[in-house]
Amino acid sequence: MGSSEFAPTIPSAKVSGLFIYPIKSCRGISLSHVPLTPAVLKAPGMQPLKICLSKQHEVTDAVTVWEWTGSALDEGAEASRWFSDYLGKPCQLVRFNTASEVRQVDPDYVGSKHHTYFSDGYRFLLLSKESLDALNELLKEPMLINRFRPNILVEGCDPYSEDLWTEIKISSFSFLGVKLCSRCKVPTINQETGIAGSEPSETLMKTRSGKVIRPNAKNKNKVYFGQNMVWNRMESSVKGSGNIIKVGDPVYVLGKVSSAAEAAA
């Protein structure tokens, strides 16, 4: 992993958007700063569903995300009915059971000390506006950032600069850029209508596949867009009210590799 001896004094970018996804695969929420307070869920034609974060829960077994299977906390019959009625098939809303379960981030990339919950694989996904703009120039119909579901959107850098970033400081937080984000079919789904198409996968396969940007590495048929990150707690200086990231915060790159071909993926 590339690294520099001294911290830069000039930021490489700034935070231009912050997004959280309280429920896997549901609509993201745009924030001016984090963290978030208890959730209220909304959907067209439905009364809002309020989720109490302090109630007692029943435990549900055999919940699976990718390679992980474990128990989760059932959010109750009202939440199940709400999702079942809206989606037209039996559903259950569950929360990660932090009291008894651990889901590790892939130790091949970050060792065994980093954990996540029901996210795809990593706690944080960073993407630059410039990368989105560069992709949109190639698409017949430009796409909104919500197709790609980042947590942190930055701007002020060159397109795809984030491919190279291995150590990033934002506010009092230090992050490790650990793996280029290989994209599944979710970006092909219109976030407003739920209808899937062929883009941006077709264009990304031509411009951002492993074969194109990492020709000497494995996974040549995957497409990459964004940088997966973990919070480097040992290097973070969070004190008092310093545990907040805000839109407008400068982004400092403390370490990077020289090309996407050298990045982990």
Give the position of tokens 């194109």.
212
Residue range 53-101, pLDDT digits in tens:
777 788 999 899 988 999 999 999 999 999 999 999 999 999 988 889 8
Q: From 129, 107, 103, 134, select the one nearest 116 (Cα to Cα).
A: 103
**138 compared with 191, residue with greater pLDDT:** 138
Q: From 128, 105, 108, 131, select the one nearest 230 (Cα to Cα).
A: 105
pLDDT surpassing 70 at residue 8: no
| Partners of residue 59 on adjacent β-strands | 73
pLDDT in the model for residue 236: 64
Q: What are phi and psi of 99, to 5 degrees?
A: -70, -30
What is the average pLDDT score of the chain? 88
Confidence category of residue 242, pLDDT binned at 50, 70, 90? low
Separation between Cα atoms, residue 261 and residue 208, nearest integer Å: 11
Contact between 31 and 176 under an 8 Å Cβ cutoff? The reply is no
Give the position of tokens 């959907």.
43
Map residue 228 onto helix, strand or coil. Answer: strand
Confidence category of residue 50, pLDDT binned at 50, 70, 90? confident
Question: Right CATH number for 13-35+102-262 from 2.60.40, 3.50.50, 2.40.33, 1.10.10?
Answer: 2.40.33
- What's the average model confidence in pLDDT over 190-218? 94
Confidence category of residue 206, pLDDT binned at 50, 70, 90? very high
Domain spans in the chain, listed from the N-terminal domain onward: 13-35+102-262
pLDDT in the model for residue 7: 59
Contact between 88 and 111 under an 8 Å Cβ cutoff? The reply is no
Separation between Cα atoms, residue 170 and residue 168, nearest integer Å: 7
Contact between 162 and 128 under an 8 Å Cβ cutoff? The reply is yes
Peptide bond preceding 250 in cis form (omega within 30 of 0): no
Contact between 213 and 261 under an 8 Å Cβ cutoff? The reply is yes
Separation between Cα atoms, residue 121 and residue 134, nearest integer Å: 26
Separation between Cα atoms, residue 263 and residue 227, nearest integer Å: 10
% of the chain with per-residue pLDDT over 70? 91
